[in-house]
A and B are shown apart, each in its own frame.
Chain A
Amino acid sequence: MEMKALFKINKKAYELEFAPNAKLLDVLRDNGFTEVKCGCREGFCGACCVLLDGRLVNSCMIYAASVGEKEITTVRGIGNTLEPHPIQEAFVEAGAVQCGFCTPGMVLATYALLQDNPNPTEEEIKQALDGNFCRCTGYVKIIDAVKLAAKKVR
């Protein structure tokens, strides 16, 4: 039997139907939020990351029924092609995007980091992005992008 609940996604309310054992990742993607990527489904790769009440989480590890009234933010919620967020601009300028599959998670991890710590050290950047895997760039450009984003956001 399907469940119905109200979700707050990118500052808008949606009433969505889902199975009681559905993961937040699937509910989001099935309802058009395909910027949330499906990678490992085991909480390792970070491609499915979203912000839940401002905190970075793996949406593949969260049951949709448990979200309640928490605010969900996907990468589209912080900026888009027409109005990109400075972090998104920084990723493009630093050449930190190759296939782009990990980028939504990386951008949100950076967003969450800079909210708490606007001037992170390289070690703090590595720690904050420890749950986001990239199989293209080797991370150097990504760390450059986070440093550039920190400058832009400051």
Chain B
Amino acid sequence: MEWYRPKSLEELTKLLSEDGALIHSGGTAIKEDRIKSASRVIDMSGLPLGYVKKEGNTWHVGATATLRDVIDVLGKEECFNPLVQALKCTATTPLRNRITVGGSVYLSPLWSNFMGPLLAMDAKLDVAGKLNGTYAYEEFLSNKAKFQGCVVTEVSFQADASTCFFFDRFARTANDYSALTVTLGLSIKDEVVDEAKIVVTGCKKVYDRLHAVEAGLKGKSLKAVDPERIFGDVEIEFADKPAGSGAYLAEVAKVLLARGFGALACVR
């Protein structure tokens, strides 16, 4: 087995053109068996992708930036509080110092709390490999098999002060994996909802974007909406988990959504 440490994206792309390479970024999600059976490991740590920077209205986060890097930089930006909150309750301090954004986005594991905020912010991914290009995160998640053998090199999203976000999660204890997360983003113009983005993760479909509720909120004043009613009819299916039965988690999700909507209405 050989470890490769490319120094440029060109070098990375060339290495990816050969089949059978295992991609290593932070490495925390790679089991020893996978490393043992790999003939080639491509270690991303030599690439200049550890940045978290703003260009115009868009934030760019390199794939090898750690969760800690993102918290440190975006923690100073008010509009990213939900994303930072999501990352702060992901894993533990020593793991957040090692887990990379690229690896988390590519694998989108259960503990990756920031799937909801990234979907609600319409995040885009830069991908290297056979499908070289920029893709919506939602498209990536819906077609993960298609991106096999590719590497996420950057995550980007926009900050818009007119959009308020809410994030919350449900877990048995503070250090436990989230059983589910809810993220709401509301853009308000002239006192009415211009755009709503509502995402639930941890459900049977991995994530659920509540498009019907989003459409129903458009053009409405927040004061005219009863959160208990708009989320009361929502059907989200959850599998039974250690944190509770599927039916219980569905009820918890509705409560968190209603609570989030209430919180955003108060902020406005």
Q: Name A's B-contacting residues (CB within 8 A).
A: 1, 3, 20-21, 23, 43-44, 46, 49, 52, 55-58, 61-63, 65-66, 68, 109, 127-132
Which residues in A have their C-beta under 8 angstroms from that of B132? none
Which residues in A have their C-beta under 8 angstroms from that of B36? 21
Which residues in A have their C-beta under 8 angstroms from that of B2? 20
| Contact call A43/B95, Cβ cutoff below 8 A | yes
A21 with B28, Cβ < 8 A, contacts A57-B94, A130-B92 known: no
Bitwise, B82-119 to A at CB < 8 A (1) or not (0) is 00000010011111011000000000000000000000
Complex Cα spacing A84 to B98, Å: 28
| Contact call B95/A21, Cβ cutoff below 8 A | no
The count of residues in chain B whose C-beta lies closer than 8 Å to any C-beta of chain A is 26
A58 with B24, Cβ < 8 A, contacts A65-B41, A66-B43 known: no
In the complex, number of A-B residue pairs with CB atoms less than 8 Å apart? 74
Q: In the complex, what residue of chain A is closest to B93 when comparing beta carbons?
A: A131
Decide if the interface of chain B is mainly helix, strand, loop or mixed.
mixed
Which residues in B have their C-beta under 8 angstroms from that of A62? 27-28, 98
Q: In the complex, what residue of chain A is closest to B32 when comparing beta carbons?
A: A21
| Contact call A58/B46, Cβ cutoff below 8 A | no
| Contact call B35/A20, Cβ cutoff below 8 A | yes
Which residues in B have their C-beta under 8 angstroms from that of A20? 1-3, 35, 41
| Contact call B28/A43, Cβ cutoff below 8 A | yes
Q: In the complex, what residue of chain A is closest to B95 when comparing beta carbons?
A: A43
CB distance from A109 to the nearest CB of B (A): 7
| Contact call B28/A61, Cβ cutoff below 8 A | yes
Most buried by B among A52, A55, A68, A109: A55
| Contact call B24/A66, Cβ cutoff below 8 A | yes
Complex Cα spacing A68 to B88, Å: 27
Which residues in B have their C-beta under 8 angstroms from that of A127? 88, 93
Most buried by A among B27, B28, B35, B93: B93
Enumerate 13 A-B pairs (CB-CB under 8 Å) in ascending A order: A1-B1, A3-B3, A23-B32, A46-B94, A49-B94, A56-B94, A57-B95, A57-B98, A58-B28, A61-B28, A61-B95, A68-B45, A131-B94
